[in-house]
Structure 1
Amino acid sequence: MKAVAEARVIRTVCDPNCHANPRCGIAAHVEHGRIAKIEPGSFPLPEYDGRVCAMGMARLEQQYHKDRLRYPMRRTGARGQGQWQRISWDEVYERLATQLRAIAERHGPRSLAFFTGSGAAGVLTKGSAQRFAAAIGGTAYRAGGVDYGVPKGLEYMFGVPASTYFRPGGHEMADAVNSKLILLWGGNPADTRQVDFHFLTTAQKRGAKLVCIDPNRTVTAKRADQWISPRPGTDTALALALLNEILRNNRQDDEFLRRYTNAPCLVRRDNGALLRDDDTTDAAPYLVWDLSRGLAVRCSESANPALRGHYQARRADGSVVACAPAFQLLCDLAAQHSADEVSNITGVPSSTIVELGRKIARKKPVSVRIGYGVDRWYYSDYTARAVANLVVATGNIGIAGGGISVHDGTYAAPLNLQTFRAPEGREAATLDVVSLMSAIEHGEPYPVRALWLSSSNLFNQTTVNRSRTLREIVPNLELLVVVDHFMTDTAALADLVLPACTIFEKKDLIAGMFLQLQRPAVAPEGESKSDWDIFAGLAERMGLGKYFAEQPEAYLKEMIETDHPLLRGITLERLEREDAVMLNRAADPYVAFTDFSFKTPSRRIELYKEELLRHGAELPYYREPVEASPVSPLYKQFPITLLFSHSRHRIHSTFANLPKFKRLEPEPTVEIHPTDAGKRKIASGDYVRVYNQRGSVTLKARLNADIKVGVAVISEGSWASDFIEGDPYSLTHELISASSENYAFYDTLVEVEAC
């Protein structure tokens, strides 16, 4: 009788771009060198213990997938033709060293770009690319260009850098139980935040009202107490109308506005600038109108500044300037957006606008969770500011149950990352996705001729007008290297494809409200390597080995073991012993701005944004969508607004190729309302062509009465090879607002026709 091998249980961490906070632990049961099963990993807090979604449980299928990349491959035919030859790692390093040196000699070292995408969150995975880029004098990734409009708008108001995606400015999802009214604006967390959605349903059980604002009746909308369906792209108008209901009924929190915002700061009527003692310097103190003394004084010198009115202010030099408090200008803007007028714009009944405006004013605390459904528009930063004004005007900032959140709010783990990313003080140049495309196509701000992509399906997921990108931008690359688990659409374009380790095969650190180690449970499949090992091998070949000389543990130890209060007492040895270690923080859910400290020029929440005068955006004005609007010249030809939903069965394109989910979603579909389908003689199950002047895609139609009339919805994340013809990202445009710096994927018009 054979002895039964004892199973080892190794805890690791699932780390796709799902925004779960904390990322879910996974316990891998290993027998005979293979993972036999996986189950949820444990946490020291019960609300996070024993949770993982279907995608996390599909990691085992991903691990042993027949199509997984297991060996390095080099392209032997034309780019994208699928002709590959297996090569050794020694040949990989020799080829890369030769080509990278040659490209750097021709175009300069910054022409070598190393980007790690959102498919993995480990600090070693992401940081090793930045470290290598710094060592070689190249370019690394910085946030921006994608999912950036809403964070940028909130940065303008609160001073939280958009590069953090407003995490330090939001509230932990667990704080929802302290809310009385929760606005879910442009998001579908029932599908996209499966492991955290229970916090919202618990809040409902405790009496909170959940309002979902979304053009389509999503799963979240069906779980909400109220669903409001505006015309896509009109959210700014809706927010201003709600604000008008608050202000015209005098339900704002005047004390909060006076103390913590620039609402009382005087604005010059002649040029829109904030009134100062001295116009020659931005450092001069702001002036307010002191109601007690009837004159303009420095903000710090008034206990009773005016919020409304129009004044003639005399400055220290004797000049008199016509001015008004910033709040007066905001009131004037809101007054232009009556419920009746905005009902005509948004399609939301005026009675609904009035009722919700009154609820926001009366049901304190009120929280807003704003999703990327309102981010992927040309004027999304305007929308973020307009929506944020609802919780600012009512004093719902800095209190439990209040706030505005994009991702989960959380303490930023204060790891010592700078030393790791910038060895010996060497820092890489950085580009975001938008500037990267410009650098490849136009050589601005400098040419990029070699691109290294890891954990990124960039040319499937993160590009707009994809057909033009493939035709006119990608050919400018002299070298494209892709590190991945599978031959994705982006990998298929590469010159070299390198097999990456999975979460079960490498060591890394996942940081958030908890610190968690990814631990290797099994040996890498084939010749797969971690990003760290790949760069270490290449660095050695290129004479840069000193930058990767230590074992990963040494660098992790240096990152973790600092004197910061949140990390004090947390060591690598402790992380090795424990499943997950929470930062030294209060047990209560994270709430932003409890100290009412804002890193804006005024050190206040800025309702009025002087620096945006040059864009005509000092206030969050409503602008019609740049393309997806009935007033667009394209509307008669392409009368359908194209939106992209997020499947509960994949994170962007990650997991899209797994058989488990292919059975549930065998092929891509476009969802349209039966009314729109009837006009076009389209039946459910028909193959249709979705097209505009930029491109087209052919896929199966699905009739769905939950979709708004005039809207088509395609679930993003399918690989381009899944479509019969074309791809949906070729339909999107490249217009970018100067104030948002953000791709407007959803601001797109199309037509749909039966094949």
Structure 2
Amino acid sequence: MEEALDLVASKLHELRETYPTTALLHCNHAGNVGLLKKVENRFFSAYGGVTAAIGSLCVGAGSEGQRYDFGKSLSHEISDVVNSKTIIIWGRNPMDTGLHLVPFLKEAKRRGAYIIVIDPLETNTVKLADMHISPLPGTDGALALTMANILIERGLIDKEFIDKYVVGFDEFRSYVKDFTLEKGAKTSGVPIEDIETLVDKYGNSKPSSIIIGFGIQRYTNGGYTIRTIDALGAITGNIGIGGGGVNYNNSRMNDYIDHELLSGETLRKHHRVFSRPKMAEFIETAEDPKVEIIFTTRANPLTQFMDSNRMTRAFEKVGFKVTIDMFMTDTASLSDVVLPCRHFLEEDNIICPPSNHNYINYCNKVIEPNPWIPSELLIWNELAKRLKLENFPIENSEWWIEKALKPMTDLTGITIDDIKSGPIIVPGATPVAWYDKNFQTPSGKYELYSNLAKSQGFEPLPVYKSIDMEPNEEYPFYLLTPHTKDSLNSQHFVLVDEKQLPIVYIHSETGSKMDIRNGSVAEVFTDTGSLDCVVEYNDSIRRDILMIYQGWWIQRLGGVNRLISERYSDMGNNAAYYECICNIRYKA
């Protein structure tokens, strides 16, 4: 380990003496979201400032859309859903990827709630539902605007809420008039009678809750799509009331963390950014300086970023690559140095609220780590010593946690010891988002019409824009690549047999029509790449969709992102993974 750290420090020192420090590209993401993991940003700022990632592979488009609507993303406590009379689960699959929500959905149903799942796929969550609606991929915005138009026409809106708390209703009402039932049905592929039921259940049984998944904003129209769904909550007055809400994400902790301590932003002498969804393109085209070193933390870009083939070619051309990881991932296997690190169960950390609750948790070490495997904090400490970084404190985890949460302690009196004693609710957080109607927009109201969006080059209203890629004769299928219940992204595919092919799920009628047998090997291909898969018939799959779970490692014969080109959303620099069309042919 000492030899590896010496080599990495030597390469970092050499780069700093030869180039601007932005010749180092730091690639990170959400492999671990513990508070201490953010210390890496302080290290690279103290080093001089590097090329850093902006944008998102997960939530960026929707978060940006909600920023224009509400001021930021806030969600109800998941337990509040038991107070809902109608629950729309829109593009989310909690039965597989959010089990914490399931008991509350079951309780809501026991109390009489009507549950609707809107998803092109018939997921396991549909088993909980009273109704399943399967729109064409990427058309959710058209469906939402059609609902809005009919709700307005039939008077199923909350005029008092609109008058007091909403900006831009008249402009919005004028825009949605064009979204008739006939147009909405034709665009979304949802039958008129199903849209009628949606409107009836959502508009006539207040409070109604909408729970949004991340998948529906992984298109080039993703941000606008979230805004159209948000609008349903606003015009019906289902915002700020128990059992209501448009629940997507949470961003409650910002006021209680010392961001400068963790980021070291003011220490940077140089700074350059790249968009995560276009990392390969950036590496290929960067000048003044070119990318000389890639340092990867909490990420597996060769597997998880779009266009894996291009990413691999770009990655291989860079002179020196370092990866911190627990496993020899696809990214680690092409790195010059791999620094092993500890599992989250082998170290203490603070977990701040994610998308679905308001609790700060102390993550206690429960397993003694192998003594020769360091924590990531220890890696940064050792590299900082070798590089003699004056502005990087060589301290332990307790020091960093205490200092990072000092704003919270100063404002509320809550200490680390308090958090260690049990989960702490974020100060000011309530079970019901926006209960005080104190929206954090420029107007202080919910903004159907956003001047901020307009000033930043976007449509001020939540509009529908069709996606860029739709099936055609050459590529007649949508390709959807959702998360599996068996892994967090690519983390657990280390357990897959090295000779086992990934599975492509296809409707039996589609397979029979194309002479592709159940259990055979087929090649799925796009204009970006191809992937061999084992065919599995599944008649819950739409006939115009192929489905392959994301995360399967390339070195284990997977790598579905080699099929997906580098495309990003309308706002938020979010990866448009689901905007992909493909074909399939029998192989063996």
Query: Normalized against structure 2, the TM-score is what?
Result: 0.92
1:455 to 288, 298, 314: 298
Alignment of 1:327-342 (within 5 A): 327-342=169-184
Amino acid at match of 1:131: R
Tell me if the contact between 1:690 and 1:752 (Cα under 8 Å) persists in the aligned partners. yes
| Of 534-543 and 327-336, the range deviating more from structure 2 | 327-336
* Correspondence 1:248-327 to 2 at 5 A: 248-263=153-168, 327=169
Question: SS of the counterpart of 2:141?
Answer: helix
What residue in structure 1 maps to residue 222 of structure 2? 380
| Residue in structure 2 matched with residue 107 of structure 1 by the alignment | 19
Match of 1:402, SS? Answer: coil
Question: Do residues 443 (structure 1) and 354 (structure 2) align?
Answer: no
How far has the Cα of 1:130 moved from its partner?
A: 0.8
For 1:658 and 1:563, the matched residues in 2 are separated by: 40
- Is contact 2:203-2:236 (8 Å) kept? yes
Q: Distance in 1 between matches of 2:102 and 2:361?
A: 22
Cα distance in 2 for residues equivalent to 1:669 and 1:177:
36
1:487 is aligned, of 313, 317, 328, to 328
* Structure 1 residue 183 displacement after superposition: 0.8
| Equivalent residues in 2 for 1:233-632, closer than 5 Å | 233-263=138-168, 327-407=169-249, 409=250, 411-412=252-253, 414-423=255-264, 425-427=266-268, 429=271, 431-434=274-277, 436-443=279-286, 447-461=290-304, 463-471=305-313, 473-512=314-353, 513-525=358-370, 527-544=372-389, 547-562=392-407, 568-576=412-420, 578-584=421-427, 590-613=431-454, 617-627=459-469, 629-630=470-471
Separation in structure 1 between the aligned mates of residue 370 and residue 324 of structure 2, nearest angstrom: 14
Selected match of 1:127 from 38, 53, 75: 38
Deviation at 1:539, TM superposition (A): 0.3
TM-aligned CA deviation for residue 594 of structure 1: 1.8
Q: Return closer, same or farther for 1:507/1:355 CA change in 2, 3 Å cut-off.
A: closer
- Identify the residue that residue 691 of structure 1 maps to in structure 2: 525
Distance in 1 of aligned mates of 2:54 and 2:436: 27
Deviates more, 1:428-437 or 1:106-115: 428-437
Q: Which residue of 1 aligns with 2:28?
A: 116
Structure 1 residue aligned with 2:118:
213
Q: Give 1:201's match in structure 2, choosing from 99, 102, 106.
A: 106
User: Can you list the C-alpha shifts for 1:433-476, whole angstroms capped at 9, x where unaligned?
Assistant: 14654542222796443221122112211x212212222x2234
CA shift for structure 1 position 237:
1.0
Residue of structure 2 in register with 1:651 after alignment:
488
CA distance in 2, matches of 1:541, 1:592: 47
- Structure 1 segments unaligned to the other structure (5+ residues): 1-88, 161-165, 264-326
Report the counterpart of residue 32 of structure 1 in structure 2: none
Q: Give the SS at the match of 2:505.
A: strand
Matched to 1:418, the amino acid is H
1:505 to partner: Cα distance = 2.3
CA 1:521 to 1:177, structure 2 compared with 1: closer, same or farther past 3 Å?
Answer: closer
Inter-CA distance 605–446: structure 2 relative to 1 (3 Å threshold) = farther
RMSD: 2.5
Report the Cα offset of residue 657 of structure 1. Answer: 2.0
- SS of the counterpart of 1:742? coil
Q: Tell me the residue number matched to 1:289.
A: none
Q: Does 1:727 align with 2:559?
A: yes
Matched, 1:144 2:49: no
Deviates more, 1:140-149 or 1:91-100: 140-149
* Letter of the structure 1 residue corresponding to residue 479 of structure 2: L
Contact kept in structure 2, 1:139 and 1:431, CA below 8 Å: no
SS in 2 for 1:677: helix
Note if 1:642 corresponds to 2:484: no
Alpha-carbon distance, 1:680 to partner: 0.7
How much does 1:114 deviate? Answer: 3.1
Q: Compare 709-718 and 148-157 and name the one that shifted more.
A: 148-157
Identical columns (%): 29
Shift of 1:702: 0.6
Cα pair 2:350 2:361 within 8 Å, conserved: yes
Aligned length: 579
The answer (yes or no) to whether the contact 2:122–2:541 under 8 Å persists in 1 is yes
CA distance in 1, matches of 2:96, 2:440: 34
**Alpha carbons 2:306, 2:565 under 8 Å: kept:** yes
CA distance in 2, matches of 1:224, 1:250: 27
CA-to-aligned-CA distance 1:251-305 (integer Å, 9 cap, x gap): 2222222221212xxxxxxxxxxxxxxxxxxxxxxxxxxxxxxxxxxxxxxxxxx
Partner SS state of residue 490, structure 1: helix
Would you tell me which structure has more helix in proportion to its own residues? 2
Which amino acid in the other structure matches residue 720 of structure 1?
Answer: I
Give the residue type in structure 2 aligned to 1:559: A
Letter in 2 for 1:412: M
Q: Map of 1:46-61 to 2, 5 A cutoff? A: none
- Give the secondary structure class of the aligned counterpart of 1:197: helix
Decide whether the 8 Å contact of 1:414 with 1:564 is kept in 2: no
Please name the residue that 2:550 is paired with: 716
Following superposition, the deviation at residue 379 of structure 1 comes to 0.5
Q: List 4+ stretches of structure 1 deviating above 6 A.
A: none
1:706 aligns with 2:543: no
Match for 1:639: what amino acid?
P
Contact 2:45–2:265, Cα closer than 8 Å, also in 1: no
Query: 1:173 — aligned with what?
Result: 78
**Partners of 1:156 and 1:563 in 2: CA distance:** 27
CA apart distance, 1:431: 4.7
Equivalent-residue separation in structure 1 for 2:129 and 2:312 (angstroms): 42
Rounded to whole Å, the distance in 2 between the matches of 1:116 and 1:458 is: 9
CA, structure 1 residues 371+689, in 2 after alignment: closer, same or farther (shift >3 Å)?
A: same
Contact between 2:449 and 2:460, CA under 8 Å: does it hold in 1? yes
Q: What SS does the aligned partner of 2:575 have?
A: coil
**Do structure 1's residue 184 and structure 2's residue 89 form an aligned pair?**
yes
1:137/1:738 CA distance change after superposition, 3 Å: farther
Partner residue, 1:64: none
Deviation for aligned residue 1:206: 1.3
CA distance in 2, matches of 1:658, 1:122: 24
CA distance in 1, matches of 2:371, 2:585: 46
2:280 touches 2:310 (CA, 8 Å); kept in 1?
no
The question of 1:671 aligning with 2:505 is answered yes
Q: Secondary structure at the match of 1:504?
A: helix
Q: Distance in 1 between matches of 2:287 and 2:147?
A: 42
1:456-515 deviations in Å (ceiling 9; x for gaps): 112211x212212222x2234222111111100111111110111112322222223333
Aligned residues of 1:117 and 1:453 also touching (Cα < 8 A): no
Q: Which amino acid aligns with 2:194?
A: T
Cα separation, partners in 2 of 1:207 and 1:424, compared to 1, 3 Å? closer
Residue identity in the other structure for 1:388: D
Inter-partner Cα distance in structure 1 for 2:34 and 2:128:
34
Residues 691 and 437 (structure 1), Cα distance of their counterparts in 2 relative to 1, 3 Å cut: closer
Change (3 A) 1:620 1:516: closer
Matched-pair contact (CA < 8 Å) for 2:307–2:562: yes
